[in-house]
Amino acid sequence: MEFKEVIKNRYSCKKYSDKTVEEGKLQAILEAGRLAPTAKNLQEQRVYVLKSEEALAKIDKVTPCRYGAPMVLVVAFDKTNVYTYPGEKRTSGVEDATIVATHMILAAADEGVDSCWLNRLDPDELARELGLPENEEILMVMDLGYAAEGAGPLANHFSRKPLAETVSYL
Ligand SMILES: Cc1cc2nc3c(=O)[nH]c(=O)nc-3n(C[C@H](O)[C@H](O)[C@H](O)COP(=O)(O)O)c2cc1C
C-alpha cells in the first residue's frame, strides 16, 4: 500500500471477527518492528505474540479492550539495557519500544490487518500474569485481527486538530 494510504487507513478497531491473522502477515508485522531504530541501536524491545486461548484470557483479565481480537502483541523493553540521556532524567526504553510498536501498527495497516493500541491496563499486573522477567517493563499492548462486519473507525478517528494548533514555526 502507498505510505500515505497506510497512514490514512490505520484506525483503532474496537470489534473483531474470529478470522485469524495469517502467519505471513504476522511475520511482516514483526519484521517491521525488528527494523525500527533504537537509541545506540540497543534493540532492547521484547515482543510477545499471544494467540492461545490461555494467553488471551490473561489479557482479558487485565483489560476490557481486547474487543475479540484473535491475536495480541505485548511490547516490552529490557530496563537493564537502555541508554540514559545526558542530564540523566530520561532513558531510551519507552521511546524505543514506542517506535517499534508504531512500526508494527503501521505494518499491520499495510497488510490489511486491523489493530488497536491499548494502555487501559496496569502493565505490572499484566507482566505478572505473563510471568515476564523482572528486568522487563511492558510499554503497550496491541490488538490484531480483522474488523467484524459493520465495524469501522469511530468518530475520534476523523477528529484531528489543525496543524496551526500543534505546530509552531520559530
Ligand atoms: C497510547 C494509546 C493508548 C490507547 N489506549 C487505548 C485503550 O486502552 N483502549 C482503547 O479502546 N483505545 C485505546 N487507544 C486508541 C485511541 O483511543 C485512538 O487511537 C484515538 O481515539 C484516535 O482514533 P484512531 O486510532 O481510530 O485514529 C489508545 C491509543 C493510543 C495512541
- Number of CB atoms found within 10 A of residue 3's CB: 9
What domain count does the chain have? 1
- The verdict on residue 154 lying in a domain is no
Q: Report CA torsion sign: 98, 9, 167, 159.
A: negative
d(CA 157, ligand 1 centre) in Å: 9
Measured from CB, residues less than 6 Å from any atom of ligand 1 are 11-12, 14, 65, 116-120, 153, 156-157
The predicted-structure confidence for 23-46, as pLDDT tens digits, reads as follows: 999 999 999 999 999 999 999 999
CATH number for the domain including 77?
A: 3.40.109.10
* pLDDT for the residue 13: 98
User: Can you give the three-state secondary structure of 127-165, one letter per residue?
Assistant: HHHHCCCCCEEEEEEEEEECECCCCCCCHHHHCCCCHHH
Distance CA 155, CA 147 (A): 16
- The verdict on residue 163 lying in a domain is no
Stretches where the chain sits below pLDDT 70 are none
Testing ligand 1's pocket by substitution, the residue of 59, 62, 115, 119 carrying the most ligand atoms inside 8 A of its CB is 119
- The verdict on residue 165 lying in a domain is no
Ligand 1, atom 29: closest residue by C-alpha? 117
- The verdict on residue 160 lying in a domain is no
- The verdict on residue 75 lying in a domain is yes
- The verdict on residue 155 lying in a domain is no
Q: Domain limits at 47?
A: 3-148
d(CA 86, ligand 1 centre) in Å: 31
Is the pTM higher than 0.75? The answer reads yes
* pLDDT for the residue 1: 85
d(CA 126, ligand 1 centre) in Å: 18
- The verdict on residue 162 lying in a domain is no
